[in-house]
Amino acid sequence: MTGGGTSGGSGVLQSVERAMRVLDRVATADGPITAREVARDLGLTLPTTYHLLTTLVTGDYLVHLADEHAYALGHHVDDLARALHQQIAPPPAVRRVAAVVHRQAHAAAYYATLRNTEMIVAHVDACPAHPSADTLSVGFHGAPHATAFGKLMLATLDPADREALLNRTGTPAVTPDTVTDRGRLLRQLHQVRGSGLAVEVNEFRPDLSCIAAPVNDAAGRFIGAVAVSLPTARLQTDRRALERVVRLGAVRASRAVVAHASPN
């Protein structure tokens, strides 16, 4: 039996949950991975692992590389990624705002959107002279405690929701300068609420800093953020000018979002 029932009364189908774990394991492998390795890493029996792998291959989520006796990601995963990018893409007017912020700040510009308790990068405007931070590409949604737009979200959450989120994600050290102490992080978030701006210095990448300002809907609810990333040395010399550019970009993005939601 491969475990098709619900798990612990949670409403989660055990077989589906296991299949997702298998897919995640293949996705994080350095290269093709064997069924035996998947079974060992996930604590599954080999027959169950083969059932799950076969199901994922049938759906084109994985491919079976027969010559290597191993498995790798299938093309349908890329299809899902493209669909995600299309679903989270901001309106054209917001993308134009990001381009202006990029040009005025001489820094990579981002628009991140709020989805439940996640900030997900929805658009990046960068160039060879002002490249985006590695991994901060469209779809990125990790390390909220270490990114400026993540700190904005944490600052706006209800305390109970914030505590639950941090308990789930933790506050791991992404760099030596990441704020990992919960008390210090909460003091930082208090400052973010007071200033209406989030700044992180070397917390997500060494020698790189980020500034983010909130984007709000017509009711004044936090729905996203405009942000820039740049070398920390530039932040130290141009901080006030950069903050003005980001704040103004967020105001313009808020107007664009409101106008898009109410075209009439």
Contact 222, 210 (CB under 8 A): no
Least-confidence region, from 99-108, 131-140, 250-259: 131-140
Of 161, 139, 138, nearest to 222 by C-alpha is 161
pLDDT in tens, 48-103: 999 999 999 999 999 999 999 999 999 888 888 888 778 778 899 999 999 999 99
Check residue 11 and give its pLDDT: 62
Please, what is the average pLDDT of the chain? 91
In the chain, what are the domains? 14-79 (1.10.10.10), 89-261 (3.30.450.40)
Structure tokens at 36: 């035996």
Taking the complete model, does pTM exceed 0.95, yes or no? no
pLDDT in tens, 107-136: 999 999 998 889 999 999 999 999 998 888
Confidence check: pLDDT of 264 > 70: no
Check residue 6 and give its pLDDT: 52
**Whole-number Cα distances in Å, 205 to 135, 192, 231, 251:** 10, 20, 10, 27
Contact 33, 26 (CB under 8 A): yes
Check residue 263 and give its pLDDT: 63
Contact 249, 98 (CB under 8 A): yes
pLDDT in tens, 19-53: 999 998 999 999 999 999 999 999 999 999 999 99
Confidence check: pLDDT of 140 > 80: yes
